[in-house]
Amino acid sequence: MEGERTEGDELIADYVDCLMSLDTNARPVHSDGLILGAAVGAGTEADAMRDFPSAEGDPNEPMLGMTFESDEAAKAFYNEYARRLGFPFRVGRSRRSKGTEEVVVMKRFVCSREGMYKKKQTSPEDATRKRERMSMREGCNAMMEVVREVDHWVVSKLEKAHNHDLGTCSAKVGYLRARGLLGGGSDKATATIVGPDEMAFLRQNVLGEGGDAQGLLDYLKKMQANDPAFCHAIQVDKNGCVVNVFWADARAKAAYRHFGDAVTFDTTYKKNKYMMPFVTFSGVNHHLQPVIFGCALLMEETEFSFIWLFETWLAAMGGKAPCSLVTDQNRAMKAAIGKVFSNSCHRFCKWNILSRTKQKLTHPYSEHPTLRDELESCVLETETISTFETTWMSIIDRYDLRKNSWLQAIYNIRQKWVPLYLMDTFFAETSPTWKLETMNDFYKKYFNTKTTLEVFLNQFDLSLASRYEDEAKADMDAYLNKATTKTASLIEKQAASTYTKAVFSKFQEEFTESLGFIIQKTKDGCISEYSITKDEDPSDTFYVTYNASNKMANCSCKHFEFSGILCRHILGVYIIVDPRTLPTQYFMKRWTMKARDDDALLEDNNNSTHDEDASQSTTSRYNALCADAIRCAEKGAGSEAVYKAAKDILQKAYEEIIAYERNPGRGSQRDAININEVVTVDDAINDQSMPDSGRKVTNLLGQFLDSTWSPV
C-alpha cells in the first residue's frame, strides 16, 4: 500500500536504520536469541556510502537503471547531487511490502518544492491567532525513485527538470526557511549568499526572520569587547556560505575546567523543524545544575562540519577531551566523534531513545497501558546486566514484540545507550532517573517562529545569567548552612562537611540504603571479599573487594566509577571494617564545596613550562593573565560583599603593577599586597598593623574561599 509519510515517520525510519547500521560495530554482547532479520536495514553505514551507482555514463548524474546496494546509498547519492545543484530534497513517498515483516521496497526522493500548498480552512479566531506561513512548495516534479530488487536497489523513475531557479546556496536557504529562520522575502534577497569573506557573508540577510546576520555579527563583537577571553569561529564552505558558527565565553571555559569530565552535546532543536539550529556543549556542576561549555549555530550536519565544530570547541577548551560524551544518534556525528574524541566514551542519550520509542510504539502502547512503564523501568531501574536482559526478553515475549524492528534495533545496540553496559566510565549521573535540562526546555519557554536570532541570543544570555546566580546562591548556602545528617555516623558527618548539599543528598540516600543489605564475608586476608544482597531481592548479588592496606574498595556495580559517589554496597562494607572516616580519594573534587577552588594560580607561577610559554609572546602572556583574572572574577562575583572586596584588592594590585612598571628595580613596599601570602582569617582580624579595610577584605575572602570558616 503506497501513501504519503509524515516527516516524523521518516525520522523514525531513518533513526531505526541508523541504529541498525551500528550493530556490526557494537561490542559483542550475548543477545539471548533476539537477532535482526535481513529484512531490516541490511549492511552498515560504510557499505551504504561506499557503493555508488554502477550504470554507465557520468557517475555523478542520476540515470534510469542505476543500481545501489541499499536505499541509504541511493539517498546519499541523491543528497550529494542535490547539494551540487543547489536544491533541498526530502523523502516524498515510500512503500512497504505486504506481510508480517513490512519491508521497505520503494523510496522516492523529491525536491522540497514538490507538490502544492493547500491552505487550511480556519476560523476567524484562528486566523488572527496564527500568522500565514510561507510555503516552499511550487509544484516541482524533480525526483528520483528507487525500488528494491533481490539484492540491490534500482532507479525506476527519474525527473531531473526543476520549475524554479537553482543556486549554490539554495539548499541552505531551504534548510533555514524550513525551520522558520528566513523571512518571507524573495529568493533574490538570498541569492547573494556567496563570497570569500566570512564577515561579508554575515552581513547578508540570511539568518533570522527579516535578516539577523548583522545582529549575529554585532552580538559576537559585543561579547568580544566585554570579555577578553571570549572566542568565536565561523566556518564557511568554498562558496562563502556559512556552515557553522561557534562561540564560548570565559565562564564557559572556566566551567569546563572544573566540570568538563562529562559532556552532553545537545541537539534537541531537531525535535521541531521550526526550531533554531542552535546546539550546546553542556554538563553538570557541583550543585547538580546545568552548565554550558560552548554554543554553536549548526546549519549543516556533515561529518566535515561536525569535525570542524568538535575540533574548534576542543581547542577553545584547552585541548583536554572529556571522559565521556553523550549525544543523539547521527551517522555523520558518530563518525566525527570517532576521529576527534577517540579516547572519550561515546554514548547515545537514553532519554532520546526512550522518547522515540514512545513515538514508534504508539499502537502497542495504546493496546497495553503498562508497556511503556515496564520498558522504561527495565532500562532505568534494573541493577545488573543479567537482570536487564532477562527483564527485557520477558517484556518482549509477554507482549509478542519479537518482530518489532525498532525494539530489535535498540536492543542490539544496548551497550551503546543503556547505562548498565557503561558503568566503568564516569558520566556524572548520580541516579538512573536523573535528567540534565536540555535546550528543548529553553525553546519551550522563549522561542517561536517569530523570534529573531538577536532576541533569541539575548534571552539565552539572560537564562545563563540566571543559572550563574543560582550557582552563586547555592555556593553561599552551602558555606553558611550545614547539611542535616540523619545518623550519628562519622562517615555521614564527613560527607556532609565535604559535599555540596545537592550531592550530599545523593550520598545520604546511598548511605541510608546501605543499612538494609545482608553482607557476608567470602574471603579473608589483606584483600578481603564480600557478597552483598538485599533482603527482599536476593536475585541481584553484588561483590565488594576491600584492601586493608590502603583502605580502598571496589564494587561490581561500578556506581562510583559511573557517578563519582560511593555506592550503598561499599558503604555497607565500610561500616563494618572501618566506621570512622572514608579515604579522601572517594570525594571527587568536582562534587565538593571546593569544586571551583583553583590552585592553578599558584601552581602556574611555579611551572617552568608555563613560564617558558608565557615568555614567548605578548599574546601568550596576555592569555595567561586573562585566565588568572577570570578565576578572581569567578570568586569575586559570588555576592555583593565579596564583589566589593575583590574590587578593592584588584585596584591595589593594579596600582602595584603600575608602580612596578615605572620602576622595575624597586622592591615591594611593606604595605603592598602579596597575592601568594597565606593569611588566615584569625591572623588578619588580630593583626592591628593591617588597616580596617585590609582586615575586612581578608575576612570576606576568607568567608567565601575557606571551607573551614563559619560565622561567629
10-residue stretch averages of pLDDT, the chain, 712 residues long? 44 48 38 31 34 51 90 88 82 80 86 75 54 62 92 92 67 39 36 31 38 74 87 81 85 93 87 72 95 89 90 93 92 92 94 88 89 94 93 94 90 94 94 78 69 81 89 89 91 94 95 91 93 79 93 94 95 88 93 80 44 57 73 75 86 84 61 42 42 42 40 34
Residue 602 CB contacts under 8 Å (≥ 6 apart), including other chains: 676
Q: Where are the alpha helices (DSSP H) in 248-370?
A: 250-259, 303-316, 331-340, 350-360, 362-367
Whole-angstrom Cα distance, residue 92 to residue 1? 15
Distance of CA 215 to the CA centre of its chain: 26
Q: What is the pLDDT of residue 274?
A: 58
Q: What is the pLDDT of residue 115?
A: 82
Angle between helices 385-398 and 371-381 (to 10 degrees): 170
Whole-angstrom Cα distance, residue 311 to residue 323? 16
Whole-angstrom Cα distance, residue 557 to residue 559? 5
Whole-angstrom Cα distance, residue 328 to residue 157? 34
Whole-angstrom Cα distance, residue 588 to residue 276? 37
Q: What is the pLDDT of residue 319?
A: 92
Residue 239 CB contacts under 8 Å (≥ 6 apart), including other chains: 168, 169, 194
Q: What is the pLDDT of residue 386?
A: 93
Residue 291 CB contacts under 8 Å (≥ 6 apart), including other chains: 255, 259, 282, 283, 284, 285, 467, 471
Whole-angstrom Cα distance, residue 143 to residue 603? 63
Distance of CA 281 to the CA centre of its chain: 5
Residue 280 CB contacts under 8 Å (≥ 6 apart), including other chains: 265, 266, 292, 293, 294, 295, 296, 439
Q: For residue 683, which of 668, 670, 702 has the smallest C-alpha distance? A: 702
Length of the chain (residues): 712
CB atoms within 10 A of CB 26: 14
* Under 8 Å between Cβ of 277 and 299: yes
Distance of CA 25 to the CA centre of its chain: 22
Q: For residue 579, which of 527, 530, 511 has the smallest C-alpha distance? A: 511
CB atoms within 10 A of CB 377: 14
* Under 8 Å between Cβ of 325 and 337: yes
Residue 1 CB contacts under 8 Å (≥ 6 apart), including other chains: 95, 96, 98
User: Residue 107 half-sphere exposure, CB side, CA atoms within 13 Å?
Assistant: 21
Q: What is the pLDDT of residue 97?
A: 81
Q: Are strands 324-327 and 345-348 parallel, antiparallel or unpaired?
A: parallel
Q: For residue 690, which of 636, 657, 639, 652 has the smallest C-alpha distance? A: 652
- What separation in angstroms does the CA of 494 have from each of 117, 285, 488, 567? 67, 21, 11, 16
